[in-house]
Each structure stands twice: as structure tokens, then as C-alpha cells.
Structure 1
């Protein structure tokens, strides 16, 4: 494997780990874990269209809604596609599923992630979109 391929494979694995941490934080309704994944200047748009700019706004919203979330089943997040815009910026399409004994719903978030100088990947610009059945 050449250097570029190895770097890309390492980046994809790091991105998958970020998405796995999103899943873990959502399953456990843990705002502290979730908020560690964001760039300080991040932009987040919720599935209902609320625009949050900067980590302070994302934190305020998340600390209010995540612990009180009403899903009783399991939520899963899966990387569906990664498009590298630059070697240190990736657009990541995610498949999000909420599963309960009585219902299932799906989301299709788009996460733009950026690699920091220390090598960490962070959520930078994200749009959480619900999927309408039918």
C-alpha cells in the first residue's frame, strides 16, 4: 500500500470511529461524549431545521434535548459514503436508524469533517435530515 492509500485508509478509519462515537453518545444519551466531536466553530442543523452555530450553541441545545430524548429502542449510525474534498476535509453520508419494538425511522445526516493539526477529525458542518417513508 502506498503512502497516499495508507493515509486515506487511516482517515476513513478515524472517520468511522467518529461516527461510532456519535452512535455511542446517542445510545447512551451522553452530551459530554457527543460534544467532544465538534470543531469549536462548527455548524449543526437539526433534523427539524434548527441552525446552531458554534460549539456553545450546539452544547446548549444538546444538553437540553439529548438526555431527554424519547427513543427507547436502539439508534444506529453507519458510514454510507465518504467523499474527500481535500485530504483533510471529508463529506460523510451517514445512515441513521431508530429501532424500537413498535417502530423504525431513518435519518440521512451529512457530516463535513475536518482533520485538525493534531490529526484528530472533528465534525465541522453537519445537517441531520429525517427520511420520510414512502
Structure 2
């Protein structure tokens, strides 16, 4: 059987809603706002941190976020950009993120992949997240 890729139809409203989720991630990370960040997740979400910690379900994500985010040691200057959005179905999108942290010591980068799903009421939420630290070769 030959696989033929068909483009999934998308709407401007869906793209804007996904971009707003990414913008809210940025705002809540900058503000170190655990509750604002957690409001973006589905109850059955799965999240993997940049250092490989796997968090399954909202309760595990919330426990980790509430313990780590408010006391995070970066200065809050972080940006998130939806670098690529691929709709897998009309209600499922894979979003590749360009993430940059800036501090007096320098800059570090992350390369998260978010899977967002749309509820019946049209609300997009984070369903799966895999963050990856980008290592810069200084040699």
C-alpha cells in the first residue's frame, strides 16, 4: 500500500490559538507563574523535561512545576517561538518550538516539541511535551 500525504485542513483561528498557547508558555515562564503554566495542560498530559524527567498526568506535572518553576534560577529572560506547526489531524497539532534563555552568563537554547489537542469546544491544550536542551559545541 502506497502512503500518500494529504495536507490536513487548518484554520487561521486554530493557528492563532496555538500561537497564543506558545505565547502563554513564554509569559508564564518569564513570570515563573506555575498556575498560569499549568492551566495550559490536559488532565492526561505527558511532559518530559529538558533533563529527561518524565511526568505522566496533570498531578505529576503540577507537583514538579510548583516545586521548580517559582524558584528557577534564570533571570526570566526567555523566549518561545512556534518555529513549525504540523497538523496531524484537524484536532491534533505537532508544534516545534525555538526556546532561548538569556542570562548574564550567556545564552542557552531548548528545542521542545509540543503535541496540542483541540477539545470539542474548540480549546487547544498541551497534551504531550518533550523538551530537549540544545548543546552548543564550543570546540
Question: TM-score of the superposition, structure 1-length normalised?
Answer: 0.93
Cα distance in 1 for residues equivalent to 2:114 and 2:107 = 22
Q: Which residue of 2 aligns with 1:52?
A: 55
- Say which structure is richer in helix: 1
CA RMSD between the two structures:
1.3
Aligned length: 130
Q: Residue by residue, what CA displacement relative to the aligned partner does 1:37-78 show, whole Å, maximum 9, x if unpaired?
A: 000000000001110000000000000000010001500000
SS of residue in 1 equivalent to 2:62: helix
- Is the contact made by 1:73 and 1:101 (CA closer than 8 Å) also made in structure 2? no
**Which of these two proteins has the greater Rg computed from alpha carbons?**
2
2:67 equivalent to 1:64: yes
Q: Quick one: which of 93, 117, 126 aligns to 1:114?
A: 117
1:93 and 2:96 aligned: yes
C-alpha distance after superposition, 1:69-125 (max 9, x if no partner): 000150000000000000110000000000123300000000000001111100001
Counterpart in 2 of 1:22?
A: 25
The aligned runs of 1:71-90 (5 Å cut-off) are 71-90=74-93
Q: Distance in 2 between matches of 1:116 and 1:103?
A: 40
- For residue 88 of structure 2, give the secondary structure of its aligned residue in structure 1: strand
Question: What is the SS of the residue equivalent to 2:65?
Answer: helix
1: CA distance, partners of 2:71 / 2:40 = 20
CA contact (8 A) 1:91 1:113 kept: yes
The counterpart of 2:11, out of the listed 8, 12, 27, is 8
Structure 2 residues not aligned, in runs of 5+ = 1-7
Segments of 4+ moved more than 2 angstroms: none
1:8, distance to aligned residue in structure 2 (A) = 1.9
